[in-house]
């Protein structure tokens, strides 16, 4: 029963965040939308930032582990397809856009989001390491820049697409 309430609060929290943005998010509305009382929410999380940090770390913006596809091109295609699926989810895309804006104003959110950014970077570096081992790219390749380029290009292309179809984060 407690898991059901926590799951309902989690869903309501992210739906509310996607709907109104972090700054306008109300924990009272989250509790109401989850069909729970404020006390149930506050027993689990003492504040909005604590709830956001905890839920980001639990549900995560994770990407699945990708097997070696045999080439850098195939590895990148599989990785970017996986990332695209995550970023195109209707709730995740709104939360991600808002989260990037809010991390500059809320250090706790930045700290909560950092592990996901690092995990994504590590995953891309693994793809690059495989390509180096296969002799597809030189050992001198700048792994940091290559990682930034691969992920940011997809992110900004998706943002451009979202704007073109009239999507906004608000």
Q: What integer pLDDT is reported at residue 169 of this predicted model? A: 45
Domain ranges of the chain: 2-59, 72-164
Q: Which fold has domain 72-164?
A: Tetracycline Repressor; domain 2 (1.10.357)
- pLDDT for residue 163: 62
Per-residue pLDDT at 1: 53
Burial call 119-137: b when 16+ CB within 10 Å, e when fewer: ebbebbebbbebbbeeeeb
Share of the chain above pLDDT 70, in %: 86
Say what the pLDDT of residue 11 is. 95
pLDDT computed for residue 162 by the predictor: 59
Q: Can you list the residues of the chain whose pLDDT is less than 70?
A: 1-2, 59-65, 155, 158-170
pLDDT in tens, 35-55: 999 999 999 999 999 999 888
State the architecture of 2-59 in CATH terms: Orthogonal Bundle (1.10)
Distance of CA 133 to the CA centre of its chain: 29
């Amino acid at each position: 029963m407690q898991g059901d309430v926590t799951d309902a609060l989690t869903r309501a929290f992210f739906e509310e965040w996607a709907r109104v943005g972090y700054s306008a998010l109300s924990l009272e509305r989250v509790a109401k939308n989850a069909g729970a009382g404020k006390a149930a929410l506050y027993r689990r999380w003492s504040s909005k930032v604590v709830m956001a940090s905890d839920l980001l770390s639990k549900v995560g913006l994770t990407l699945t582990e990708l097997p070696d596809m045999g080439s850098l091109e195939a590895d990148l295609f599989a990785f970017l397809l996986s990332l695209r699926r995550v970023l195109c989810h209707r709730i995740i895309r709104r939360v991600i856009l808002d989260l990037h804006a809010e991390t500059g104003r809320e250090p706790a959110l930045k700290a909560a989001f950092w592990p996901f950014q690092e995990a994504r970077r590590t995953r891309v570096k693994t793809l690059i390491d495989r390509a180096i081992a296969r002799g597809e790219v030189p050992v001198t390749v700048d792994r940091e820049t290559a990682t930034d380029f691969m992920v940011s290009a997809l992110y900004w292309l998706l943002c451009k697409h979202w704007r073109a179809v009239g999507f906004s984060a608000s």
